[in-house]
Amino acid sequence: MKVKLSDMKLRETGTIQSIKTENLHDMRILEMGFVQGEKITVTGFAPLGDPMEVRILDYSISLRKSDSENILIQTGKQA
Residues that bind other proteins (CB under 8 A): 19, 21-33, 35-38, 43-44, 46-51, 53, 57-64, 67
- Residue 30 vs residues 35, 61, 76: alpha-carbon distances, Å: 6, 13, 23
From the CB of 75, what's the least distance to other proteins, in Å? 19
Pick between residue 1 and residue 27 the one whose CB is nearest to other proteins: 27
Q: Closest approach of Cβ 17 to other proteins, in Å? A: 12
Contact 7, 17 (CB under 8 A): no
Query: Are the CB atoms for 14 and 75 separated by under 8 Å?
Result: yes
